[in-house]
Chain A
Amino acid sequence: MSNLRFSSVTKIFGHDTSKYVALDQVNFEAENGQLVVVIGPSGSGKTTFLTIAGGLQSPTSGNVTISGNNMTSLAKKEQTKLRLNKIGFVLQSYNLVPFLTVKEQFELVTKVKKNNLSDQSLYQLLDDLDIRSLVNKYPNELSGGQKQRVAIARALFTDPEYILADEPTAALDTERSMAVMSLLKDLAHKHDKMIIVVTHDMRLKELADKVYQIIDGKMSVYEG
């Protein structure tokens, strides 16, 4: 059973007078098979948390381990490999390459990574996200919500073990948000994935297995 664990992780931006503590002694844990939602207002440190979880930046102090392996001690190349093979990122913006059609966004992935979803599973995924009819469109021909759903499909296409999503439902209406969340929940439960969603949207906590709350860089288990 693999897990992701933050122990006393602190992230400080700037130094001396302009010091800013974005994450303050954060403890966090998620396991495969779980959909974990981190809720917090804008500027609370959600994106910082997620990028540290994905190895895009390192903490100022504290430890991040993935299945017991210290993340920060990995070489740059291995972090890249880890992201390619094990992590699916859904980011707030620039998820899609502007000059590739939806279909080509997936094709690009196959150029750098061999074992991805089968065509059949991909089409199933596209149907689940209701974007199958968009495969020949370019990102600038899509609505914000459509783009977001394509980005989710793009992240799931590599069949990652961990999915890290930053406000994945920001551009979606309630119905679509819930559809996306139940898709993610299904993935967690049926395919034993670890899914971490950070959001300011309180509604998303309904479907989560575990909810954290982050305020001013301080993380705690949410108790509604």
Chain B
Amino acid sequence: MFLAIKEMKHEKLRYGLIVALILLVSYLLIILTGLSTGLANLNKAAINEWGAKTIILDKDSQGRLAQSYLSAQTLQTTKGSKISQYNSLVTSTGDLKENAQIIALSKQSFIYRNLKATTGKKFTSKNTALVADKFKKDGFKIGSKIKIANSNVELRIVGFTPRATLSVAPVIYTSFETIKPLNNGVVNAVVTSEKHQFQDAPSNGLVLSINQFINKLPGYSAQKLTFNFMIGFLYIIIFIVISIFLYILTTQKLPNFGVLKAQGVPTTYLVMNTLAQSFIMSVIGVFLAIVFGLLTSWFLPSEVPIVISTMNIVLTSVGIIIMSLLGSLIPIRQIAQVDPYKIIGG
């Protein structure tokens, strides 16, 4: 550590530049991971609130809720909570407008039980609705009437519920009778709170675990893949940046390392030193990146779906630190292989 710290203090510019590079890439990583999580949440957060394990859809639905129409026969042979889904523009007095996912449930279902109302209460009678927090942010109030576009259906908001977004739209929870005029009473899926046993899968049903179902949400997997690709690439960039810089810096110091070896300084001491440098630099870089990342998410308008969770921070930090330690492997090899005699004899 002694050599590591003394050198970094003496060569502030060089090491400062490496830290700056780590900082920039880490910052990008944190923002991208945050966006990835945020966008994923917009797609699926509502489903997580249900507390469901399995979903049964129609065989021909390809896992898409909107394309699944369960037949009466299938319904008869399936146990669980039925749900109906209807996607529509909704409006209210003034200019209030929102594209929403309407989900109908029975008040007896476990989903209904699992939903929380942060303000107001859950829907009770016909034409009342428990709606996503997002509506409140956008100016809707308890008691506000919302009109479903191209229909005569009008709902009254009785409560707001958190984290209720599905396929990037806020969710309106209401009863089956409320949306009967909209979807003719079609049931799109049955959801269970227990793991569904495959042997009692209905003949025309497609049984998916909730995770499988989420992965089949429109655009979800493609988006996740794109982000993961970029994130993976940034980790590789960190690795290469550290490798190259430490390689160059180590090459310059090799004669000195050779002489230190001649003087009896153990190779492990020199190796630990290089590891310490990459560790220190990545910790500083990551720390600053986290600070900047949090500041950014703080200042970004709330429309930007960025979620910098503790989990993300921990995983990203560990990832970057591991990458930079791996990045010092090549320099370590250089140090281990330098022959003191080659330097002295030259």
A interface residues (Cβ-Cβ under 8 A, vs B)? 47-48, 51, 54, 56-57, 80-85, 87-89, 91-95, 97-100, 104, 107-108, 111-113, 138, 154-155, 158, 166
B137 within 8 A of A: no
Smallest CB–CB gap between A74 and chain B, Å?
13
Q: Contact between A81 and B264 (Cβ–Cβ < 8 Å)? A: yes
Smallest CB–CB gap between B73 and chain A, Å?
79
Q: Contact between B3 and A91 (Cβ–Cβ < 8 Å)? A: no
Which of chain A's residues have a CB closer than 8 A to the CB of B184?
none
Which of chain B's residues have a CB closer than 8 A to the CB of A87?
264
Complex CA gap A81/B264 in Å reads 6
Subset of 8 A-B contacts with CB under 8 Å: A48-B345, A84-B266, A87-B264, A88-B263, A89-B262, A91-B344, A94-B343, A100-B10
Complex CA gap A155/B2 in Å reads 19
| Contact residues, B97-146 vs A (CB, 8 A) | none
Q: Contact between B256 and A56 (Cβ–Cβ < 8 Å)? A: no
Known contacts A51-B341, A57-B341, A83-B264; decide if A94 and B258 are in contact (CB<8 Å): yes
Known contacts A94-B256, A99-B7, A108-B3; decide if A80 and B264 are in contact (CB<8 Å): yes
B interface residues (Cβ-Cβ under 8 A, vs A)? 2-3, 6-7, 10-11, 255-256, 258-267, 269, 340-341, 343-345
Contact of A113 among B260, B264, B343 (CB under 8 A): B264
Q: Contact between A107 and B2 (Cβ–Cβ < 8 Å)? A: yes
Of chain A, the residue at the smallest CB distance from B343 is: A94
Known contacts A83-B263, A91-B262; decide if A112 and B269 are in contact (CB<8 Å): yes
Complex CA gap A84/B340 in Å reads 14
Q: Contact between B261 and A94 (Cβ–Cβ < 8 Å)? A: no
Smallest CB–CB gap between A111 and chain B, Å?
5
Complex CA gap A211/B345 in Å reads 23
Which of chain B's residues have a CB closer than 8 A to the CB of A51?
340-341, 344-345
Known contacts A94-B255, A95-B259, A97-B256; decide if A84 and B264 are in contact (CB<8 Å): yes
Given known contacts A84-B266, A108-B265, A111-B2, what 4 new A-B pairs fall within 8 Å (CB)? A48-B345, A91-B259, A94-B258, A99-B7
